[in-house]
Chain A
Amino acid sequence: DGGITQSPKYLFRKEGQNVTLSCEQNLNHDAMYWYRQDPGQGLRLIYYSQIVNDFQKGDIAEGYSVSREKKESFPLTVTSAQKNPTAFYLCASSTSGLQDYEQYFGPGTRLTVT
């Protein structure tokens, strides 16, 4: 079955540690996205990538980093510079282009930093 996998579902880290969230897709999509979801704030775009080896900052990129070395994978690193890292992180992918291609979402990773 095609889809997007995110692992792990729950992640716990100590403050000051970097942590990397995994996102893999087998939909053959060119574009991938990372969103952060906080209660009462909807989804906010962190980073997105429209093609391998290229990515752009979204609305809240500070304290995060990404890489796109393979079409299937778009890992997100939450660095110690991110002031409020505890949140629900969602990865998505889509076909790229000018049309309104649907974004498919993974099940999410809930990160808790104490």
Chain B
Amino acid sequence: GDSVTQMEGPVTLSEEAFLTINCTYTATGYPSLFWYVQYPGEGLQLLLKATKADDKGSNKGFEATYRKETTSFHLEKGSVQVSDSAVYFCALRGRGGGNKLTFGTGTQLKVEL
């Protein structure tokens, strides 16, 4: 079945540092890929998405590129802020019909001054 693997957290960075959160997936066919963010005590918000190979999703300074050859969708940001502290989830939507998402376990990011 479909699965998503994320790097374990927490990831602790200083403000203005470069961020990478790794995400790899297993799925049949060509899934769509997503990054969601969860701020403390809240639900999830879509951060960015990519629907086909080599697509780059971007939003709020975050980027991720759909790499079919390495089955990866790593999240990057050039300069993190304290306000980016949250839990980040990688997810995929398979091609089996419906709009069901398979989530990774989440990576907590802590940004310090």
Whether A103 touches B101, Cβ cut-off 8 Å, given contacts A43-B89, A108-B42, is yes
Identity of the chain A residue whose Cβ is nearest the Cβ of B46 in the assembled complex: A102
Contacts of A105 in B (CB 8 A): 43-45
Whether A107 touches B42, Cβ cut-off 8 Å, given contacts A42-B105, A100-B49, A100-B51, is yes
* Residue in B41, B99, B106 whose CB lies within 8 Å of A101: B99
Contacts of A25 in B (CB 8 A): none
A100 and B32 contacting across the interface, CB-CB below 8 Å: yes
Mark interface residues in A36-66 (1 if CB within 8 Å of B CB, else 0): 0000111111001010000010100000000
Q: How far is the CB of B41 from chain A (nearest CB, A)?
A: 8
Q: Which of A4, A42, A98, A107 has the most CB of B within 10 A?
A: A42
Q: How large is the interface on B (under 10, 10 to 19, 20 to 34, 35 or more residues)?
A: 20 to 34
Whether A43 touches B103, Cβ cut-off 8 Å, given contacts A50-B98, A100-B32, A100-B93, is yes
A96 and B103 contacting across the interface, CB-CB below 8 Å: no
For chain A, residues 1 to 33, give those with C-beta under 8 angstroms from any C-beta of chain B: 4, 31, 33
For chain B, residues 44 to 66, give those with C-beta under 8 angstroms from any C-beta of chain A: 44-46, 49, 51
Interface of B is mostly: loop
Q: How far is the CB of B46 from chain A (nearest CB, A)?
A: 5
A27, B45: Cα distance in complex, Å: 15
Q: How large is the interface on A (under 10, 10 to 19, 20 to 34, 35 or more residues)?
A: 20 to 34
Contacts of A106 in B (CB 8 A): 43
Q: How far is the CB of A2 from chain B (nearest CB, A)?
A: 14
Contacts of B46 in A (CB 8 A): 102-103
B100 and A45 contacting across the interface, CB-CB below 8 Å: yes
A58 and B100 contacting across the interface, CB-CB below 8 Å: yes
Whether A103 touches B103, Cβ cut-off 8 Å, given contacts A108-B42, A108-B43, is no
9 A-B pairs, CB-CB below 8 angstroms? A31-B98, A42-B4, A42-B103, A43-B44, A45-B101, A100-B32, A100-B93, A102-B46, A108-B42
